[in-house]
Amino acid sequence: MIEPGEPPTDVTIVVPAWGSYAGAPLRDALQSLRSQDSTAWILVVDNHSDEQLAELSGVQQVRAQSRLTVGAARNLGLERVETPFVLFWDADDLMLPGTLRFLREQIRPDPDLVAVAAGIVEGEPPRRHRWPPRWSARLAKRRRLFAAAHAVWSMFPSTGATIMRTEAVRSAGGYATEIEAAGDWVLGASLAFRGRVELHERPGRLYRRLGESLRDKHAQPLNKLRHAAAVRQRLREDREVPAWFRRALPLLAGCQFAILTIAAPVARAVRRLMLLRRDEQPR
C-alpha cells in the first residue's frame, strides 16, 4: 500500500474475503501484498461476513450489503478501481516476492496486452501447479487460436498473479456473477478476444488449500458443463467476439462436452497413475 510521500501507483489489488478466510489467511495474504517491492492500492471486499471485518492498516474496504457470489464480490471491488491496471487476489493465497513489479513491467510497455499471468506453485516445498499447462504459453502467441482454445477449456487464470487492464475487464463484463467457481473462466474468455494474453513460468502465486475450495466443490462434470454454458452465453453477448465465432457456438458446445466429460477425466486418471508410480520408485 502507498505510504505518505511515495509516488502514485497505477495498480489496484482487489481481495474479497468472508468467513474463515477473513481471519489469519487474509492477514497472511495482505502481508504478502504489502511486502512487494512495488506499490499498489489494496481494496478488501467484505463479502457480508457474519461479523464485519475489523479495520485493516493501509487497506481500503467496502462491505457488500448481502452475501454475493465470488464473481459479484470481485465486481463490487472493480466498480471502485480507479487505476489502469487491476489484480484480483484470493484471501488464502500468498504473492511471492517481486511478483507485482514483474507483472507491471511486462504489461506497461505493450498496449496490445490485456493480461499477463505469472505461474502458480503449491505445496511444501513449492512445486509447479499443474495448471495452466506448460504448452499454453506457446499457444498464447497465436492470439485467435488461444482465444478459441480458452473458450473450450480454461487456459489461464484471471485471478491471482495476473495483471489486467482495468478497462478491458470492464468492457468484457467483469466476472460472471451467477456461478461460483468459473466466473474467472468466463471473464478470461472475453479478455482473450480483446488482446494478447501473456503467460510466464516465473512463479508469482503460492496456492494454499485451506479446507474445501470452491474449485473442489464445483469440479463435478455436471457443474463444469454449467460453467461451460456460462462461457458460451458471455461470448454470445460479447460484440468483441467475431461474428463467425458466435455462429460456431453450437460446435463449441460439442467441443466443451468432449473435453470436460471425456478427455479431462482421462487426463486426470493418467496423471494420478504417473504420480503414484513416481512415489513408489525407490529413492
The Cα–Cα gap between 165 and 193 comes to 13
Report in angstroms the alpha-carbon separations of 55 from 11, 47, 52, 246: 21, 14, 9, 46
The tally of domains found in the chain comes to 1
CA of residue 168 relative to chain centroid, distance? 15
Quick check: is 205 in a domain? yes
Quick check: is 183 in a domain? yes
Partners of 60 in beta bridges = 43
The Cα–Cα gap between 160 and 184 comes to 10
Q: Which three cell numbers stand for residue 174?
A: 467483469
Q: Which domain holds residue 129?
A: 89-280
Report in angstroms the alpha-carbon separations of 224 from 12, 159, 221: 30, 18, 5
Quick check: is 190 in a domain? yes
Q: Which three cell numbers stand for residue 149?
A: 482454445
Quick check: is 126 in a domain? yes
Q: Which three cell numbers stand for residue 29?
A: 495474504
Q: What value, to the nearest 5°, has the Cα angle with vertex 211 and ends 209 and 212? A: 95
pLDDT in tens, the chain (283 residues): 444 444 469 999 999 999 877 888 999 999 999 999 999 999 999 999 888 888 888 899 999 999 999 999 999 999 999 999 999 999 999 999 999 999 999 999 999 999 999 999 999 899 999 889 999 999 999 999 999 999 999 999 999 999 999 999 999 999 999 876 668 999 999 999 999 999 999 999 999 987 655 555 555 667 888 999 999 999 999 999 999 999 999 999 999 999 988 876 776 666 667 656 666 666 5
* pTM of this structure: 0.90
Quick check: is 48 in a domain? no
Eight-class DSSP state of 89: -
- List % helix, strand, coil for the chain (3-state, nearest 5): 45, 20, 40
Partners of 43 in beta bridges = 14, 60
Instruction: Give a three-class secondary structure readout of 108-163.
Output: CCCCCEEEEEEEEEECCCCEECCCCCCHHHHHCCCHHHHHHHHHHCCCCCCCCCEE
Whether the CA torsion 79, 81, 15, 214 is positive or negative: it is positive
Quick check: is 11 in a domain? no
Q: What is the CATH number of the domain that holds 158?
A: 3.90.550
pLDDT tens digits for 168-191?
999 999 999 987 666 899 999 999
Q: Which three cell numbers stand for residue 47?
A: 463479502
**Exposed e or buried b per residue across 224-257, where buried means at least 16 C-beta atoms within 10 angstroms of its C-beta:** beebbebbbebbeebeebeeebeeebeebbebbe
Quick check: is 127 in a domain? yes
- Candidates 72, 153, 93, 147; CA nearest to 115 is 147
- Candidates 214, 216, 255, 206; CA nearest to 232 is 255
* 128 contacts: CB under 8 Å, gap ≥ 6: 119, 120, 121, 201, 203
Quick check: is 21 in a domain? no
